[in-house]
C-alpha cells in the first residue's frame, strides 16, 4: 500500500524557486542563454499539460514549443511572487485551449455542458477486495494503454486536474495556480477525477472473473508476467 | 462521528492526500477497519494513482527535448 507521501513532488520546491528567481534575474540582465536551464526542469510538465487537453502527441509538442517561446518573449512580465513552473504551465494550457478552439474540437457550449456535471454525484466502483497491481506490470503495453484510455475518457475539466496533480505531481496550490482555479474547485474536481478513474479501471484490473486483465493473468499462470 | 460509506467516498481524495482534519481522519480509519468495500475502494484508488504517476505510463516523444531546445536556440538567434 502506498502512503500520501509517495505521490507528493519528489523535488523540494523551495530551492527550485530560489534557483528560478536567480536565473530569471540573470536572463533579464542579458544572459539569455540561461533560459535553456530555466525551462529544462519543467519541459515535461509543459508537454503533459498540453497533451492533457489535446490528446495528440504532435499537437502537444507544437503547443509546448509555442508556450516556451511565448514564455521567453514575455519573461519580463513574470511576477516574482508566482512560481515560474505554474506560470509556464498556465501558458501551455492557454495555448492548448486556443488550438482546440481553432480546430473547432470544442466550443463554449460543450465546455458549459461539462461544467454542469460538477453538481452531479460521483460514486466509485464498489468492490469487495483489491489485489494490488505492481508498478512493474506497466512493462505490459496492455496496462499502459488501459490507463491512458481511462484518462482520455475523462471530461476535460477533470482530465486537466488529474494530469497536473497525479501525473505531473503538482501540489494542490500549484495545480490551482496553473489552471486559474481556487484550491476548493481543484479538490472537488480531483475527487471526481480520481473516483472516475477508479470506477473505470478497478473492475478491469481486479481479480474478478470478468476483469479484462485477468485474461492476461490466466495466460501467464496467475502472474502479471 | 459515525460515517457511512458515501461520506468516506466524498473524503477519499483528501484522505489520500493526507489533508483531512485529525478527528475526521480517525472516523474514516474506524470505518475502513470495519468496511471491506471502502477499504478496497481506497486501496484500488491509491494503486491506480501510483500507476498513473509512473513515468512508464506516459512517455515523452523521442527527441522532444532536443527539438524544443533547438527551436529555442533558433528563436534566441545565437
Poorest-confidence range of A49-63, A103-117, A123-137, A198-212? A103-117
**Domains of chain B by residue range:** 5-76
**Can you tell me the distance from the alpha carbon of A116 to that of A82, in angstroms, rounded to the nearest whole number?**
30
Q: Which secondary structure element, helix H or strand E, spans residue B40, and what is its range?
A: helix B36-53
> Phi-psi bin for A11: left (phi > 0), alpha (psi -120 to 50), beta?
beta
Which of A125, A138, A202 has the CB atom closest to B56's CB atom?
A138
DSSP letter (8 states) at residue A167: I
Each residue of B17-57: pLDDT tens digit? 999 999 999 999 999 999 999 999 999 999 999 999 998 99
So what's the pLDDT on residue A6? 41
pLDDT confidence band for A13 (50 / 70 / 90): low
Q: Contact A138/B57, CB-based, under 8 Å? A: yes
Each residue of B50-63: pLDDT tens digit? 999 998 998 899 99
Domains defined for chain A, CATH in brackets:
12-110 (1.10.1740.10), 133-219 (1.10.10.10)
Question: Three cell numbers at B62?
Answer: 523521442
Chosen for mutation from B25, B51, B74 (greatest number of chain A CBs closer than 10 Å) is: B51
pLDDT confidence band for A122 (50 / 70 / 90): confident
Three-class SS state of A220: coil
Chosen for mutation from B6, B49, B73 (greatest number of chain A CBs closer than 10 Å) is: B49
* Residues of chain A positioned with their CB less than 8 A from the CB of B51: 133, 135, 137-138, 143, 147
**Can you tell me the distance from the alpha carbon of A70 to that of B3, in angstroms, rounded to the nearest whole number?**
50
So what's the pLDDT on residue A118? 52
Residue for grid cell 472473473: A209
Q: What is the DSSP string of A87-133?
A: HHHHHHHHHHHHHHHHTTS--HHHHHHHHHGGGS-------S-----
Contact A69, A40 (CB under 8 A): no
So what's the pLDDT on residue B78? 56
Chain A closest CA to B44's CA: distance in Å?
6
Residue A111 reports pLDDT greater than 60 = no
Which of A43, A48, A195 has the CB atom closest to B68's CB atom?
A43
Amino acid at each position: 500500500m502506498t502512503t500520501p507521501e509517495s505521490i507528493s513532488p519528489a523535488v523540494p520546491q523551495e530551492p527550485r524557486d530560489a534557483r528560478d528567481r536567480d536565473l530569471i534575474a540573470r536572463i533579464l540582465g542579458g544572459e539569455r542563454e540561461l533560459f535553456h536551464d530555466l525551462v529544462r526542469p519543467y519541459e515535461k510538465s509543459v508537454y503533459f499539460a498540453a497533451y492533457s487537453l489535446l490528446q495528440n502527441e504532435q499537437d502537444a509538442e507544437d503547443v509546448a514549443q509555442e508556450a516556451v517561446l511565448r514564455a521567453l518573449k514575455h519573461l519580463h512580465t513574470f511576477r516574482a511572487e508566482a512560481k515560474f513552473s505554474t506560470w509556464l504551465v498556465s501558458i501551455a494550457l492557454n495555448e492548448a485551449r486556443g488550438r482546440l478552439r481553432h480546430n473547432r474540437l470544442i466550443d463554449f457550449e460543450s465546455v458549459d455542458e461539462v461544467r454542469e456535471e460538477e453538481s452531479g454525484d460521483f460514486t466509485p466502483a464498489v468492490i469487495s477486495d483489491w489485489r494490488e497491481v505492481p508498478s512493474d506490470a506497466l512493462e505490459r503495453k496492455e496496462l499502459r494503454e488501459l490507463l491512458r484510455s481511462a484518462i482520455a475518457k475523462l471530461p476535460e475539466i477533470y482530465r486537466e486536474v488529474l494530469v497536473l496533480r497525479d501525473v505531473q505531481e503538482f501540489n494542490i496550490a500549484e495545480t490551482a495556480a496553473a489552471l486559474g482555479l481556487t484550491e476548493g474547485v481543484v479538490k472537488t474536481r480531483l475527487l471526481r477525477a480520481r473516483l472516475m478513474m477508479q470506477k473505470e479501471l478497478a473492475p478491469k484490473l481486479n481479480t474478478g472473473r470478468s476483469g479484462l486483465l485477468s485474461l492476461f493473468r490466466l495466460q501467464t499462470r496467475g502472474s502479471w508476467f | 462521528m459515525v460515517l457511512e460509506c458515501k461520506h468516506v467516498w466524498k473524503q477519499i481524495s483528501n484522505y489520500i492526500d493526507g489533508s483531512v482534519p485529525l478527528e475526521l481522519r480517525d472516523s474514516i480509519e474506524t470505518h475502513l477497519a470495519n468496511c471491506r468495500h471502502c477499504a478496497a475502494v481506497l486501496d484500488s484508488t491509491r494503486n491506480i494513482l501510483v500507476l498513473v504517476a509512473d513515468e512508464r505510463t506516459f512517455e515523452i516523444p523521442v527527441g522532444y527535448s532536443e527539438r524544443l531546445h533547438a527551436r529555442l536556440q533558433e528563436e534566441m538567434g545565437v
